Amino acid sequence: MRKIVKQVALSLSILLLTAGLVGCSSNESKEQSQGTWGSRAQDKPSLQKDFKFMSDFRSALEENGVPCTDYIKRDEIMVKDAGDCKFNGVILSLTLFPTTEAGNQVYEAVKSLMSGYLITSNNWWVSTDDEGTAKLLEGLLGISVL
């Protein structure tokens, strides 16, 4: 999974260098710009937002039943913050993007290259290679796995 996340970061770098981050046009609403994932955490108010700091995101995960231990920060290109942690002994990869739109653009650009399971909303995603953990996260966070 870590290799895939690094491939995603490299793909993001190439995408952003060649195309640039594209925001909403003046006629496009915020909801339309959220694309594939947008604000998907409908029943979890503490997850229905963009996170500026990984520590705040990890706290929100814990509030929703996902304590993330042994966190190790990863240096990634073109993401706001990224790292790995353990949940029930399984490694989770956490990623924060500068904006929801940036995260959506990365997802659309690299979804065919990704393996494992991805849960996303707003400017963040959580990925894992473990199917059982993905199903558990889906239930705890109230967000369908992509």
C-alpha span between 53 and 62 (Å, rounded): 15
Domain count, the chain: 1
Q: Is residue 54 within 8 Å of residue 96, measured between CB atoms?
A: yes
**143 pLDDT more than 80:** yes
- pLDDT recorded at residue 78: 80
Residue 117 belongs to a domain: yes
75 is in which domain, residue-wise? 2-21+40-141
pTM of the model: 0.74
- pLDDT recorded at residue 125: 93
The pLDDT tens digits for 73-130 are 999 888 999 999 999 999 999 999 999 999 989 888 888 888 899 999 899 999 999 9
Residue 34 belongs to a domain: no
Residue 30 belongs to a domain: no
Q: For residues 66-96, b (16+ Cβ closer than 10 Å) or e, as one string?
A: bebeeeeebebebbbbbbbbebeeebbbbbb
Residue 29 belongs to a domain: no
- Average pLDDT, stretch 10-24? 37
For residue 61, which of 35, 36, 76, 83 has the smallest C-alpha distance?
83
- pLDDT recorded at residue 39: 54
Residue 73 belongs to a domain: yes
Residue 27 belongs to a domain: no
Q: What percent of the chain has pLDDT over 70?
A: 69
Mean pLDDT of the chain: 78
Residue 28 belongs to a domain: no
Residue 146 belongs to a domain: no
- Average pLDDT, stretch 129-139? 95
What distance, in Å, lies between the first and last C-alpha atoms of the chain?
15
| Range of lowest pLDDT (12-16, 59-63, 116-120, 141-145) | 12-16
